[in-house]
Structure 1
Amino acid sequence: MNHSTKNKQIYKGAFALVFAGIIGKVISAFYRIPLQNLTGDIGFYIYQQIYPIIGIAITIALYGFPSAIAKFLAENKAKASKPLSKNIIGVLLLFHVFLFLLIYCFRSQIALWMGDEDLVEALKLVAWIFLFVPILSLLRGIQQSEKRMYLTANSQLIEQLIRACIIIGTAAFISLGYLSVYRIADGAVLATTVAFLASTLYLLFHRKKGPLCDGMEERVFGFSSLWSTIIFGGIVISLNHMLLLLMQFADSVTVVPGLVEYGLSTTEAMKAKGVIDRGQPLLQLVTVVGSSFAMALMPEITKQNWHANKKHAFNQIQSSLKFCLLLSVGATAGLWILMPEINQLLFTDRLGSNSLRILALTLLVSPLTLVVASLLQGFGYMKWTAFLIFFGLWVKILLNKWFVPSFGISGNALATVCTIVVIFVINYWLLRKRVIKQRLLHLPLLRLILATGLLIAIECLLKFLNNNLLHLVTRLELVIFVLFSVVLGFLVFLFSLRWLNILTKEEWNQLPMPKKWNYKGVNRDETNH
């Protein structure tokens, strides 16, 4: 397979993951609406209390261990033979049994930390989810190592749809009085378990018959080798993908006290934190871009591949960073302009829109941070990236303590932006040291500003027409307006990248689009070389 075909396969897989991730996040955001409507604030509170643990299981099953397994197979040029697969499953099962026992045995203490002893039974059930992660992680890791990203993307969509349906069904039974409100936790556990099983069966059905069944793999990998590479690596990769969740954790212990010091009452401070928390689903929605490129690149960028063909590996790095940055710039610009309308659409009012606009600036670097961190991990900087995550957590806590008492929720948003920028700058500096004398980001800055300006102009024109002529204010009208604005803005920005030659012919043709849109001309930049 030549490099051009291989690159197209990688980026096709990355964009498939982007699409699946965005659809998955949309499903995840929207099933919470009927969940809250059917079970009330108490039911929603119970679900939110156990969701972080479920979210950890979902993250390590989708991003952490599959990427670590794919990286391990790529680095060792190994096939997932039956003996090796059994060894990997054994190591994964040992780790997940430990997690199971940790939650199961300390469920009472965890419930006390959460402030609700009635969650003990729910936590006992949540622990069982982790036992379904090992096989799913292995299958996804094998597919990623074989560049069959679309299978991971499809399994992700299957997982989200099943979870949403079962959770909404449980909420409906609660609203009809057939179940106690605390049974929403049981429904969430059942939903996740069935979703994991369905994804596993889907991947088993679509796997290639050879790798898991043959016995051709002669190399022996010891327990310590598998443990240090897959378990430690999987934990670090998972932490990178939970970066925004860790920022939320820092907020949970610092924002309300800071807002009280700012001058709000405790009740007002809680409400204000709820307002700035509105931005988290939107941040996660766009950060899917970085997660998807990181997942696609993990088995590709290794020390061996770098030494074997530096030019090809560097081109992959450069193109991935470029794609990621362009998508981040477009998403940030659109979100900045449409934030008041999106805020009203999702949360019925426009409270905190300016603070949420500050928070949206995080999107300029958060997807890039994930990609750069995954590249560093490919080069062997596992401990460094793990250290930077915890360093960033303390930076966030300190900045919250300084900014929130002075600027309120805008200070909290600014602290998040600054923290992500600090982590990105350090990661980028480390990557620059690794690829000496190479320019990682090569963009025609003026043309990119022009393309972004066109996007902003279109969105501002649509807002002007709405404010002065259409006056769309109901939720249904806002859905139509926001969706139309997002699609039109995306198309304007996308084709600006083509018309202004921001993307090369090869890069444009790697995008997952109809063949009739393929770029057949020659870029101005290419004719100058």
Structure 2
Amino acid sequence: MRMKNEQVKKTMKGALILSVASLIAKILSAVYRIPFENIVGNTGFYVYQQVYPLYGIGMTFALTGFPVYISKLVAEKRSEAEKLRLVQQLFVILCVFSVLTFSGLRIFAPLIAKAMGDLKLAGLIKSIAWMLLFMPFLAVGRGYYQGTFNMVKTAVSQVTEQFVRVGLIILAALLFARLDWSLYKMGALAMFASSVGAFVACLSFVGFYRKKFFKRVKAPQTSYLALTEKLFTDGLILCLFASMMVLLQLIDSFTVVRGLFSNGFLPADAKNIKGIYDRAQPLVQLGMVLAVGFSSTLLPTLSHALQQKKLAEFRRISSVMLRVSIAMAVAATFGMIVLMPQINTLLFGDAHLSLTLSVYALSIIFITVIGTYNSILQSLNQFLITVFGLILALVGKLILNVWLIGRLNIMGASLATVISLIVALGWILAFIPDLVKGLFKTGYFWIKLALATGLMYGSVWLLLRLLGPLFGTGRLECLCLVFLGALLGASVFLVVALSSKLFSVREWLLLPGGRKILSLWQNILRKKESK
């Protein structure tokens, strides 16, 4: 019993370490694009963002999707010899897969670039292909350590990969500005940074490959065919869902510029517009970080409740995860929308396409809810529901992009993203198991959330109307307005949430910093009563 408790404790600690590392990586991945866009401009950002989804998908396979599935297979094996035999076989399968995808990208780079509407992107696609050769080393190394509940190595690999890649991308942008490089040469070097980052991430697993991996082991061998089938069904499902937003961006890469061409835009104008539209990516990532960060802290507790077969506790924690992630996502989204012209100017130098970016920001809410439901369903081993939701989202995005861009230009792409995510969420809600149905039936949650969000939005809108004419539209002035607006909005939302009891005391205590917020609120109430 004591050993079992120690194992649970180790698992929960490991999950928390990975959550923190993932959070750091997400913040880095979002933040670097802001100075990058400022240095290279809208068209330079377009060049980078057109092929970025290929990197995003590749690294999701290497750092998230395949490692999670491999860790599950490793954890199921009893002896160390069986674990090593398994990862040796998986390494061979992934080597074949990575060489094939590497070759495919190198050979078909001109065709892919042509399909994206810009033949000059071929060099960037070829540059990014090298990163795929490191995928077997990363996926197997991370999968082995996660499967043996040692999360430190995997966390270090994730953070170092991002730090190195981001540093080299900013360096590429600075060299472009200093040496008068072409945008495409800069883009190729920025994409090659992903390969250097992947190589540095692999160094975290040198000890594993040197001391353990290449040992001869005596253990039964699983059929390569059966293992390949498992990896590219269940494992691939995890990979694809983890890269949902990146897949939607990939559809944009193939359809937005070509759609604008069809509408009569000149190539230079279409690329510039796509570059401005791509500003939405870091904004959405930053918006999601807060909501996903809150809910991810509860994931270990959710898994523990299920292991102990405490279904009522599982439902309660699932409810808390959903309520908190939705509330944070809604607050972040509408806070971002009301401040969008100022945020756009502060971060990127102008307020172009602020309405289009505001519409795209709505996707924060739906992708957060989908991601939270996916975590809950994964813990129940229910994969097919979210898979069909993902397929619907991708097909819907493709069809809607073609149709809406033709009628509404770039606004159509934003609407297509939001509508496709709504369709996916609708599918998931229609088919979720009974165990996680009806998690919002108590406490008038939606009315309280609408009240808190509405008062937050209204107060910030009024602040901007009163102070906006006095401050002007420069970057420094926008910084002051964003700071004041964010401070006022967060304060109003918190006060209304606490006053209306949007979350129970028990729920507040489960949140990071929740105890301090409650203590501060109770002190304020006591002072009021004493007067």
- The verdict on a shared fold, with TM-score over 0.5 as the criterion, is yes
* Contact 1:321–1:371, Cα closer than 8 Å, also in 2: yes
Match of residue 94 from structure 1 = 96
* Aligned-partner Cα distance in 2 for 1:370–1:425: 13
Match of residue 278 from structure 1 = 279
Match of residue 106 from structure 1 = 108
| Deviation at residue 324 of structure 1 after TM alignment | 1.7
Please tell me the residue identity of whatever aligns with 2:29.
Answer: K
* Contact 2:15–2:300, Cα closer than 8 Å, also in 1: no
Aligned pair in 2 of structure 1 residues 78, 404: CA closer, same or farther (>3 Å)?
farther
Match of residue 28 from structure 1 = 32
> 128-137 vs 496-505, which deviates more?
496-505
| Deviation at residue 428 of structure 1 after TM alignment | 2.1
- Taking the TM superposition and a 5 Å limit, the aligned residue runs for 1:379-390 are 379-390=380-391
SS in 2 for 1:166: helix
| Deviation at residue 165 of structure 1 after TM alignment | 1.7
Please tell me the residue identity of whatever aligns with 2:449.
Answer: L
* Aligned-partner Cα distance in 2 for 1:304–1:3: 14
Match of residue 527 from structure 1 = none
* Aligned-partner Cα distance in 2 for 1:272–1:147: 46
Aligned pair in 2 of structure 1 residues 11, 184: CA closer, same or farther (>3 Å)?
same
* Contact 1:339–1:353, Cα closer than 8 Å, also in 2: yes
Per-residue CA distance 1:315-349 (angstroms, 9 max, x = gap): 44333222321221111121121112112223333
1:82 to 81, 84, 96: 84
Match of residue 319 from structure 2 = 318
* Aligned-partner Cα distance in 2 for 1:279–1:144: 33
| Deviation at residue 463 of structure 1 after TM alignment | 1.9
| Deviation at residue 164 of structure 1 after TM alignment | 2.2
Please tell me the residue identity of whatever aligns with 1:32.
Answer: F
| Deviation at residue 364 of structure 1 after TM alignment | 1.9
* Aligned-partner Cα distance in 1 for 2:379–2:152: 22
Match of residue 526 from structure 1 = none
* Contact 1:14–1:296, Cα closer than 8 Å, also in 2: no
SS in 1 for 2:369: helix
Aligned pair in 2 of structure 1 residues 161, 489: CA closer, same or farther (>3 Å)?
farther
SS in 1 for 2:88: helix
| Deviation at residue 367 of structure 1 after TM alignment | 1.2
SS in 1 for 2:339: helix
> 128-137 vs 406-415, which deviates more?
406-415
- Taking the TM superposition and a 5 Å limit, the aligned residue runs for 1:12-23 are 12-13=16-17, 16=20, 19-23=23-27
> What is the number of residues matched between the two proteins?
514
SS in 2 for 1:55: helix
Match of residue 161 from structure 1 = 163
* Aligned-partner Cα distance in 2 for 1:231–1:299: 27
| Deviation at residue 279 of structure 1 after TM alignment | 2.4
| Deviation at residue 410 of structure 1 after TM alignment | 4.0
Match of residue 361 from structure 1 = 362
Per-residue CA distance 1:420-457 (angstroms, 9 max, x = gap): 111001012222x3537663676633332333244324
| Deviation at residue 298 of structure 1 after TM alignment | 8.4
> 5-14 vs 377-386, which deviates more?
5-14
Match of residue 139 from structure 2 = 137
* Contact 1:403–1:412, Cα closer than 8 Å, also in 2: yes
Please tell me the residue identity of whatever aligns with 1:327.
Answer: M
Aligned pair in 2 of structure 1 residues 196, 253: CA closer, same or farther (>3 Å)?
closer
Aligned pair in 2 of structure 1 residues 76, 106: CA closer, same or farther (>3 Å)?
same
Match of residue 190 from structure 2 = 188
Aligned pair in 2 of structure 1 residues 4, 384: CA closer, same or farther (>3 Å)?
closer
* Aligned-partner Cα distance in 2 for 1:517–1:7: 29
* Contact 1:290–1:371, Cα closer than 8 Å, also in 2: no
* Aligned-partner Cα distance in 2 for 1:99–1:299: 35
| Deviation at residue 148 of structure 1 after TM alignment | 6.8
* Aligned-partner Cα distance in 2 for 1:395–1:136: 33
Match of residue 468 from structure 2 = 467
Match of residue 449 from structure 2 = 448
* Aligned-partner Cα distance in 2 for 1:11–1:284: 21
Per-residue CA distance 1:181-204 (angstroms, 9 max, x = gap): 654355334422232233333466
* Contact 1:276–1:409, Cα closer than 8 Å, also in 2: yes
* Aligned-partner Cα distance in 1 for 2:183–2:517: 52
- Taking the TM superposition and a 5 Å limit, the aligned residue runs for 1:179-218 are 182-202=184-204
Per-residue CA distance 1:68-105 (angstroms, 9 max, x = gap): 23444567789794333333333333322221222234
Unaligned runs of 5+ in 1: 523-529
Match of residue 528 from structure 2 = none
**Does residue 513 of the first structure (1) align with residue 522 of the second (2)?**
no
* Aligned-partner Cα distance in 2 for 1:295–1:217: 39
TM-score, with length taken from structure 1:
0.78
Match of residue 526 from structure 2 = none
* Aligned-partner Cα distance in 1 for 2:326–2:116: 38
* Aligned-partner Cα distance in 1 for 2:222–2:495: 49
> 221-230 vs 8-17, which deviates more?
8-17
> 344-353 vs 414-423, which deviates more?
344-353
SS in 1 for 2:350: coil
Aligned pair in 2 of structure 1 residues 55, 191: CA closer, same or farther (>3 Å)?
same
SS in 1 for 2:32: helix
**Does residue 349 of the first structure (1) align with residue 342 of the second (2)?**
no
* Aligned-partner Cα distance in 2 for 1:278–1:181: 17
- Taking the TM superposition and a 5 Å limit, the aligned residue runs for 1:147-296 are 155-177=157-179, 182-202=184-204, 221-252=222-253, 254-255=255-256, 265=265, 274-288=275-289
* Aligned-partner Cα distance in 2 for 1:327–1:191: 33
| Percent of paired sites with the same residue | 29
